[in-house]
Amino acid sequence: MIELQTVEVPVHMIDNGEKRLDASFYAQDVVNARVLIDKLIRKGTEIGEVNTLANDLYHRPRFKRKYVSKKQGLPFLTPTDLFMFPLRPRKSVIDPPEGLTVEPEWILITCSGTVGRCIISTSMISECILSHDIIRLLPKYIERLGYLYAYLNTWIGQAFLTKDKYGATVKHIEPHHISAIPIPFIPEIEEEISQNIMDVHKLRTAAQTDLLKAEGMIYFDLGLPNIDEEDIEYFGGEKGRIVKSFALKASDLELRLDASYHPPLAQKAVSFLKKSTRGKVERLGDITNSFVPPRFTRPYVKKADEGIPLLQGSHIPLIKPLGIKSIWRKMKNIEAYIVKKNWILVTASGTIGRLSFVSDYWDNWTATNHLLRIIADESKINPGYLAAFLQTVYGQSQLLRLSYGGVVDEIGEAGDLFNNILILKPKDENIENRIGSMVTEAYNKRDKANLIEDNTVRDLENKLEEMAITSLSSGGI
């Protein structure tokens, strides 16, 4: 049963600004944020607006996207793509309007769908065309970039970022909603906070680079071509490509008559693996153990000491998972849902095949039953290398072919078919271990960055709340 939430607001809050009458505009966290800012003003803290720290703040007009093959077009990033780990453009476009690229060290803010998510742009992002659904914030003072980013990620900043969202099905915010957000200036801590966030930015950039480099080494060191759908010749030429029409020998059916099990890309990938002279082909079931735990009722708790963080499918592919909840640590059969260091988690329901490596930080967390667990036999294969291989087209094409289900795709009960996925293990063990170490380090860097950011944002929140109830005051910009 949903609990009814009520809040009382003074009439001047309605008269000010956009004269909004929708209740979400006056949600409790928004009121609390306004009250905190008012207290800081009365205590003498200087309050500016976000636009005082920005040279520009804008998004681009909507445009018709002309999608083409990766070889023909420019890499294109949606708001979702910005937060993926690894960062890999899924589509390419031609003839985009001007002004859709960004420079490194801008703050990018999602403004459609899930609004208010922030990330600092990198050199990899700057090489791509970005969706119009992303607001670009160009910092006026690079030395204060980290402080502005941290503030926008506090509960205060998020309350102001999301309070103006509008739209029935898809929510939106506009640049002017962000420009007027109040921001306190606290000179004595701004430098430290900014430095911490820039360290986070560097760690995330290094993590992305390491993970993509590890994948590239698999192609290069094992002599595997980096194939994709563009390399497939469909039956009927370009018209056949539209419906993905292809021919198949009866001897290759393996008693499966569903076309989704026989995609040409997977067939081509398996063929290249079997022809490789630099590695030995292994069945996944011979070098790992895998399982999906049963469905369960999730008893969520709010107190950290009473629960264990729960990973869900939406968290797996992200550079920074958000909205992680905890389940009761005394739940019946809790051991069946705990994951361990060096395991590989694969989304087995919905958008299948996305995976993540369980690092030191995630060790002994729990994970939903919609995640397949792969436990490598470390005497037979390096788990980091295995995670990298499953991220390649050679792993992904074999995973995706196992999907079944009418409305929601599943691979959780693929059984022996899953065990029959082919893995190419390098003959040179040094190559395998070098790639594996790079993957492990990439995930550790990601988690270290997230931990630093969480602590920095929490420290800033605590400082602002402390200042609001004391007689402290701070100077100007």
Integer Cα distance of 344 and 290 in angstroms: 9
| One domain, residues 221 and 180 | no
| One domain, residues 106 and 243 | no
| Residue at 412 is within a domain | yes
Residue pair 203/65 in contact (Cβ under 8 Å)? The answer is no
| One domain, residues 99 and 241 | no
| Residue at 454 is within a domain | no
| One domain, residues 257 and 361 | yes
Q: What is the pLDDT of residue 11?
A: 72
| One domain, residues 323 and 425 | yes
Q: How far does Cα 294 stand from its chain's mean position? A: 26
* CA-based nearest residue to 374, from 360, 389, 361: 389
| Residue at 20 is within a domain | yes
Distances (CA, A) of 251 to 147, 248, 343: 63, 8, 36
| One domain, residues 146 and 282 | no
Q: What is the pLDDT of residue 79?
A: 95
Ordered DSSP codes for 44-59: T--EEEGGGGEEEEE-
Q: What is the pLDDT of residue 410?
A: 87
Token pair, residue 266, equals: 């997977």
Integer Cα distance of 315 and 326 in angstroms: 13
Integer Cα distance of 445 and 87 in angstroms: 15
| Residue at 462 is within a domain | no
Integer Cα distance of 291 and 294 in angstroms: 10
Ordered DSSP codes for 306-368: GEEEEE-GGGTTBSS--S-EEEETT-TTGGGGB--TT-EEEE-BSSTT-EEE--TTTTT-EE-
Output the domain CATH number for residue 279.
3.90.220.20
Of 419, 434, 449, the residue that ends a domain is 434
| One domain, residues 304 and 166 | no
pLDDT by residue, tens only, the chain of 477 residues: 456 667 676 776 666 655 667 666 667 888 899 999 999 999 899 999 999 999 999 999 989 999 998 888 999 999 999 999 999 999 999 999 999 999 999 999 999 999 999 999 999 999 999 999 999 999 999 999 999 999 999 999 999 999 989 988 899 999 999 999 999 999 999 999 999 999 999 999 999 999 999 999 999 999 999 999 888 888 877 777 778 888 888 888 887 888 888 999 999 999 999 999 999 999 999 999 999 999 999 999 999 889 999 999 999 999 999 999 999 999 999 999 999 999 999 999 999 999 999 999 999 999 999 999 999 999 999 999 999 999 999 999 999 999 888 788 888 777 778 899 999 999 999 999 999 999 999 999 999 999 999 999 999 999 999 999 874 444 444
| Residue at 477 is within a domain | no
Of 404, 419, 434, the residue that ends a domain is 434
| Residue at 406 is within a domain | yes
Of 132, 164, 185, the residue that ends a domain is 185
Q: Which residue has the tokens 């539209």?
A: 242
Distances (CA, A) of 191 to 138, 145, 176, 443: 19, 10, 27, 27
| One domain, residues 222 and 178 | no
| One domain, residues 23 and 141 | yes
| One domain, residues 181 and 266 | no
| Residue at 251 is within a domain | yes
Distances (CA, A) of 157 to 66, 100, 339: 36, 26, 33
Amino acid at 300: Y
| One domain, residues 297 and 221 | yes
Q: What is the pLDDT of residue 6?
A: 73
The range of the structural domain enclosing residue 356 comes to 216-434
| Residue at 363 is within a domain | yes
Q: Which residue has the tokens 């506090």?
A: 154
| One domain, residues 220 and 177 | no
Structural domain total, the chain: 2
